[in-house]
Amino acid sequence: MSVQAQASYNPTLTNYAQGYLQDRASALAQFVAPLIPVVGSTGKYKKFDDKNSFQTYDTSRAIGGKARRIEYLTTDPSYNCQPQALEIAIDQAERKAAGANIAQLEENKLQTLLSATILSHEVKVVSIMKKLAATANVGNWSSPDVDPINELDAQFEAIATDTGMLAGAIVFGLSAWRKFRSHAKVIKRMPGAALIGVTESQAATMMLNPAVQIRVAVLSQDTAKLGAAAAKQLVVGDDVFIFIRTPNPTTYDPGWMKNFTDGDSSVMGVREYVTEDQTNTVLRCDWSEDIQIVGTLAGRRITLS
């Protein structure tokens, strides 16, 4: 049996990891694709991919008659939560140098591991977000004649027409946000904005849904190979995503994206083991996930030109 297979569960570090990640629940990935705990690694979920998915029902029932039943189709897809893992080593020399502060050393190492886990997950979610095709003939926000607010409102209206629901979330890439808040037609709508700038809350009040939640994605990724000169770029950049996001997501609500997991947290546990040469103690995070776009009509994408 490998030393990895013999890794022991560490409840103290697991609790620390879950608390650390909970404090970062407002991260982009959780905002777009909320965590959906499920029973078992596989199962069915409802796909909202056509207008029939958002149909209304005649709920009238005759005395003694049967109720109308909402049925799920045999063609509804399945989630399949795949195991994930990432680990970090603590050299025995580091442990010796830490002395009585070994617990602090372990927490610092775990923070580094969790930060890498979060970044990797964020990039994965964005890559799935970008599978959504951009809406044609919009996004030329470099033109003074284009009104970004009108273009965003048109996407709200398109989602509402398809689904009967008003989108409640927007993600701006950092580059897109810079162009949006500096656009003359946006500034004109907000007296004094030319002096103080447009905030997220102020931008929301200008839109078709003034209660919309706005997030600005500042995620950056180094795309160069290990050892090569850094080649960093913004992961979201010039994209804007408008989508339905429900406050209490389940396997059956029509939110745009979800992250299914067969645990009750984004990290199921922290385990540790000692390498065969006894030189390193390794901390390992385990979790499962299946990230899906579940409501193809519930999201729109604008790519700026």
pLDDT in tens, the chain (305 residues): 455 556 788 888 888 887 877 766 557 888 999 999 998 899 988 888 776 666 667 788 888 888 877 766 667 789 999 999 999 999 999 989 999 898 899 999 999 998 888 888 888 999 999 999 999 999 999 999 999 999 999 999 999 999 989 999 999 999 999 999 999 999 888 876 556 678 899 999 999 999 999 999 887 666 655 556 655 666 788 999 999 999 889 888 889 999 999 876 667 678 899 998 999 999 998 889 999 999 889 999 999 98
Is residue 185 included in any domain, yes or no?
Answer: yes
Q: Which two tokens stand for residue 297?
A: 């009509």
Domain hosting 172: range is: 8-52+77-303
Kindly state the helix (H) or strand (E) to which residue 134 belongs, with its residue range. Answer: none
Is residue 60 included in any domain, yes or no?
Answer: no
Task: Show the DSSP H helices in the chain as ranges.
Answer: 11-22, 28-32, 92-98, 102-129, 148-163, 174-182, 184-189, 193-196, 200-205
CB 29 within 8 A of CB 23: no
CB 84 within 8 A of CB 286: yes
Pairing assessment for the beta strands 169-173 and 82-91 based on DSSP bridges: unpaired
Cα distance between residue 232 and residue 21, in whole Å: 25
For the chain, how many structural domains are there in total? 1
The position carrying tokens 């409640």 is: 168
Is residue 127 included in any domain, yes or no?
Answer: yes
Cα distance between residue 104 and residue 279, in whole Å: 19
Is residue 71 included in any domain, yes or no?
Answer: no
Q: Which of 171, 165, 128, 133 is nearest to 152 (CA)?
A: 171
Q: Is the dihedral of CA 237, 240, 244, 248 positive or negative?
A: positive
Is residue 148 included in any domain, yes or no?
Answer: yes
CB 266 within 8 A of CB 295: no
What pLDDT was estimated at residue 13? 87
What pLDDT was estimated at residue 72? 61
Helix/strand/coil for 135: coil
Based on its alpha-carbon atoms, the radius of gyration of the chain, rounded to whole angstroms, reads: 23
Q: Which two tokens stand for residue 204?
A: 């929301």
What pLDDT was estimated at residue 1? 46
What pLDDT was estimated at residue 233? 63
Kindly state the helix (H) or strand (E) to which residue 39 belongs, with its residue range. Answer: none
Is residue 35 included in any domain, yes or no?
Answer: yes
What's the CATH number where 130 sits?
3.90.1690.10
Q: Which two tokens stand for residue 290?
A: 């299946």
Is residue 67 included in any domain, yes or no?
Answer: no
Is residue 70 included in any domain, yes or no?
Answer: no
Cα distance between residue 45 and residue 42, in whole Å: 10
